[in-house]
Structure 1
C-alpha cells in the first residue's frame, strides 16, 4: 500500500513537472482580505512553475496593492465606487455583526441581513461594470490569450467573464451560506440530516430539534438567495449576454471547485469528482522570529507565550472591551503578544506587549507557544491546526462563530462571546486550554491529520489548475445532475410514474375481480333457474 501511494505521488509530480515546462497564461479574478491571502501562495507557486499570472485589480482595492513588488502582473480597472464607500460599508457590516446582532431577534436579523446583501450586491455589480462594461478592459483581456481563469467567486462575474472569453474556470472557495452555491449550482450533495448548513453553528451530530433547525436554516437561506441574490445577478447576466441567462447555471459550469477546507476542520460529507478539498493552502513551516520578538518570547521561560489577534479587518475595539481583555491577560503567567492598533488599555499587564503587526504563523510554530486567542477566521485556525496549537475563540462576525463551533466540537478550543464575557471568563478559558492536556492532544491529532496527505494542499491546488489547462477544461468530471430538472434530480417523475402504474394495476385488479364476481354470480343464477 505504501509503495502504491508513493508511486501515485511520483506520477502526480512528474505530470506537474512535465506541464510546467510549457507554462500557461492564467487570469486571476479580483478579491479582498483573507481571500487574497489564500490566493497569493497559489499564484506564487504557479509563477515558480513557469506560468504567467495576471491579476485583475480594481482601482479601489483595500488589500490588493498593485504597487508592491510582485512576481505576477496586474491588470488594473476602474470602478465607480470609492475606497471610502467600501470602508463605510464594511464598518457597517462589522458593527451590525459584533454589536447589534447578539441583541436582535431572528426576524430583525434577517431583515437587516437582507438589506446588507442588497447593498453588497450593488457594490459587487459596480465592480463588475469595471470589467464587463469597459471596452478597454475587455479588449485587453481578449488580447491576453489566457488559458484559464482562476477565481474566488465571493465577487461575482468571473463565470460570465470566463464564458465570454471562452476559458476554463477554476473556483477557489471557502463556502457559501448554507452551501447554496455548492449545492444548487455545483450539484454538491448536502443531506440536511447530517450536513450542517454553513454558518448554522451546528455540528454533524444533531438531535431531532437541531435537524429541524438545520432544515429550516437551509430553507431560509435559499429563500434569501432566491429573493435577493439570484434575481439581481440573473438580470445583470442576461443584460450582458443579450439573452435570458441563469447565473447559477453559469456558476455550475466551473470545471474545478477548490474548497478551502479539509477533514481536520470540517465534518465528513459526500463530494463530487470536480470538488477538491484543499484547506490550509497558505500554511507553511515557521520561520525565525524578528530579534526583538524572539527576545520577548524567550523571556517567558517555561510558562511560554499566548498569541492574540482579531484578524486583519479588526484593528481596535472599544476601550471598555480592551480594558477587560487586558485585565484578563494580566492574570495569566504566560507572556502575551497582542496584535492591537487602538489606544493602550489602562489595565495592560507587564506580561502583555502590543503590536501593530505580528508574524502570526511563525509565532504559532514556535515551541514556546501555549495557546492562540483568535477571532475564528479560517486562515488563523488553519495555521493553529498546522502547528498543533489549542485555541480560545472570540468570534466577531461572518463564519467565525460557526468556525469556532467546529473547533469546539473537535476538542481543541473554548469559545467566549465578546459582548457577554467577563474578565474571569477569558482568563479561565485561557488557563483551561493550556492546563487541560486534552486540548493540546486534540490539537496535535488534528495537526497529524492535516499533514498526513499524499500531497500538500498547495501542490494539490496547483495540480488541478494545471490539470484543467492541460485538458482544456474538466467537463468529464462534472456530474449529469447539471442537465436534470429539479424533479428529475429527485426522481419525482419516476415516482409519479410508478405510483400511476401501481394505481393502474390496482384498478385493473379491482375491475377483474368485479368481472369475475359478475360472471360467477350470473352462472349461479342461471343454474338455479334451470333447477326450478
Structure 2
C-alpha cells in the first residue's frame, strides 16, 4: 500500500458524519489527510488529530445552518401536507429548491474564492495531492478537483436534487421512482405517467435554481463548453452510500462501489447509567427514538402526542430530545440531548427504533436487525420508508395528521407482530453476507485510485457526448431522413412511371 495525500472537500451536516468515518479509517492506514472547509460551518472542526485543515473565508454569506432553519422547514412541510397532495408536493419542491439554491451558491462561492487566491492555489498544487474525495451533493469540491486536475472519488448518495444513480448510470423512469413520488419500482400506468412528468419538472427546477450558480463559475474559469454535470460524471470512483438490500434494483456502472451501512459497527458497552436503564426494562425491552442530527425539536403539540403514546407502553423509551420537556412525558421515558445510537440499536434489549428515516439510522437499524416506526419529515425520508414498507420492516406515520392513538397503534403493531422483526432480521443477514465489508471496500477503491493514478478504464466516456448523441436522436433523425427519402423516391418513381405509361397510351 502506498500512503497517499488526500484532499477532502466535505459537505456539512449529517454528510460530514459519513465523511469523518472515512477520514478516520484512512488516517489509521497512514494516509495524509487535508480537509478544506468554509470558515463558517456546523459540525466540521478546524482542529483534529486525523487531518489538517484549510479554511476558506466566504465574504458576506449567511450560514444556512443557523437559526434552526430545518425546524422551520418541517413546520412548512406539515402545513403544506395538510392542504392537499399536489399543492403540498409543489410547495415542498419549491421550498427544497429555494434552500438548495442558497446552499449551492455558498459552495460555488467557496470554489471561486479559492480560484481567486493564487497563493493558496499554488500551495495546493505544490502539495501534490493524489486525489480529491468529495460529496457532490454540493458541487464546490467537484469544481476544485477539476481546477487542480486531480483524480476524484465521490462519497455520494445525492447529486443536487437527484439520487446519484440518475447521473451515474442509465435510470429508466419506467421502473426507477423519483425522490418525492413515494412510488416503488412496480408502478402503475398513472404512476409511470406521474414519474415522467415529475422528472421533467425536477429538471426544470434544477435548471432554474441550481445550474446558474455552476454555469457562472464554469464559464469564468473553465470555458463555456464545460458544465457541472460532465465534471461530476468524470469522477473515477463513486462510493454510493446504499446497497440493493435497501435500494430497488437498477442498472449500474463498473466504477460504482456500494457502501451502504459502512458506518455501522458492532455495538460497544454502554455507560453504566444507560446500561442500568436498559436492563431495568425487563422482558418488555426498550424503544429508541431519534430524529437525526439536524432536527432537534418538533412542534410542541406533536411532541406531546408522541410522549403520551410512549407513556402508555410497558416498554422503556430513550428519546434523543433537546427541547422543552413534554407535559405528557411518562415515567418510562428518558430524554437525552445525545445518545450512542449505534450501540443502543445493537443492545439485546432494543425492540423498536422510532426514526425520521435518515440513511445512516436506517442502515444502523438494518445492521442490528431492529424494526422501525417511521416519522418522515423532509426530502428523501418519505421515499426511504416506502422502501422499508415494501420489505415489511417498518410502519410509517403521517406527521401532518399525527395523533396519540396512531402512534400507539403503530408501536404496538411493530412490537407485537413477529413479521416486522423477522423481516428486518432477514435484511440484516443479507446485509452482513458480503464478501468484503462496505468500509473495507471504500478504502480499497480510494487506495486503488491512488496506486493507479486514477481509474479512467472503469469510467464510461458517455459524459463527453452531447445529449442528442447520448440518446441517439441524431441516429433516429438520420433513419427518418432515409425512410422519408425512400418513400419520396418511390413516390416520384411511381409518378414518373405512371406519366410514361399514360403518355404511351395517348400516342397510341
Match of 1:257 among 238, 247, 255: 238
2:379 matches 1:398: yes
Measure, in 1, the Cα distance between the counterparts of 2:319 and 2:117: 44
SS in 2 for 1:254: coil
1:462 is matched with which residue? Answer: 443
Residue range with higher mean Cα deviation, 124-133 or 197-206: 124-133
Contact 1:30–1:58 under 8 Å retained in 2? no
Q: How many residues align?
A: 504
C-alpha distance 207-350 of structure 1, shift in aligned 2 (>3 A): same
| Counterpart check, 1:33 vs 2:16 | no
Residue 47 (str. 1) matches residue 30 (str. 2): no
User: Greater CA deviation, 222-231 or 136-145?
Assistant: 136-145
- Tell me whether 1:70 sits opposite 2:53 in the alignment: no
- Displacement after TM superposition at 1:140 (Å): 2.6
Quote how far apart the aligned CAs of 1:425 are. Answer: 0.5
SS at match of 2:248: coil
- Corresponding residue to 2:370 among 389, 411, 414: 389
Question: Is structure 2 residue 388 aligned with structure 1 residue 407?
Answer: yes
- Report the CA distance shift for 1:249/1:181 in structure 2 as closer, same or farther (over 3 A): farther
User: Are residues 1:193 and 2:200 paired?
Assistant: no
Residues 1:508 and 2:489 aligned together: yes
Per-residue CA distance 1:184-204 (angstroms, 9 max, x = gap):
xx4521101000112332111
Shift of the 188–130 alpha-carbon distance from structure 1 to 2, 3 Å rule, reads same
Task: Provide the residue aligned with 2:132 in structure 1.
Answer: 149
Per the alignment, do residues 486 and 96 of structure 1 end up closer, same or farther by CA in structure 2, a change over 3 Å counting?
Answer: farther
SS in 2 for 1:54: strand
**Structure-2 separation of matches of 1:84 and 1:245:** 29
* 1:458 CA drift (Å): 0.8
Q: CA deviation at 1:103?
A: 3.7
Aligned partners of 1:180 and 1:222 also within 8 Å: no
Question: C-alpha root-mean-square deviation of aligned residues, in Å?
Answer: 2.3
1:87 aligns with 2:66: yes
Q: Is residue 493 from structure 1 mapped to residue 477 from structure 2 by the alignment?
A: no
How far the C-alpha of 1:91 sits from its partner, in A, is 4.0
**Inter-partner Cα distance in structure 2 for 1:94 and 1:83:** 17
Residue 214 (structure 1) aligned with residue 168 (structure 2): no
2:320–2:335 CA contact under 8 A, matched in 1: yes
Per-residue deviation at 1:325? 0.9
**Which has the larger Rg?**
1
Cα distance in 2 for partners of 1:97, 1:261 equals 29
Q: Assess if the C-alpha contact under 8 Å between 1:283 and 1:386 holds in 2.
A: yes
Greater Cα shift, 156-165 or 166-175: 156-165
Distance 1:92 1:289 in 2: 30
Between the aligned partners of 2:195 and 2:220, the Cα distance in structure 1 is 36
CA displacement at 1:406 relative to structure 2:
1.4
In structure 1, distance between residues paired with 2:31 and 2:90: 50
3-state SS in 2 of match to 1:286: coil
SS of corresponding position for 2:162: helix
What are structure 2's unaligned runs of at least 5 residues? none
Change (3 A) 1:187 1:343: closer
Distance in 1, matches of 2:299 and 2:496, equals 86
Give the structure 2 partner of residue 286 of structure 1: 267
| SS of alignment partner, residue 23 of structure 1 | coil
In 1, are the aligned partners of 2:64 and 2:102 still within 8 Å (CA)? Answer: no
**Structure 1 residues 93 and 251: alpha-carbon distance in aligned structure 2, compared to 1, 3 A threshold:** farther
Deviates more, 1:493-502 or 1:27-36: 493-502
Residues 177, 198 of structure 1: 8 Å contact kept: no
Shift of 1:177: 5.7
Alignment partner of 1:140 is 2:119: no
Return the offset for 1:316: 2.2
1:429 positional shift: 0.4
CA apart distance, 1:81: 5.4
Please give the TM-score of this superposition, normalised by the length of structure 1: 0.89
SS at match of 2:331: coil
- Structural mapping, 1:435-474, within 5 Å: 435-474=416-455
Query: Structure 1: where are the runs of 5+ without partners?
Result: 1-19
Distance in structure 2 (CA, Å) of the matches to 1:476 and 1:323: 56
Residue 357, structure 1, aligned to residue 312, structure 2? no
Could you say which residue in structure 2 is the equivalent of 1:160? 143
Indicate the SS of the match to 2:429. Answer: helix
Given candidates 305, 327, 339, the residue that maps to 1:346 is: 327
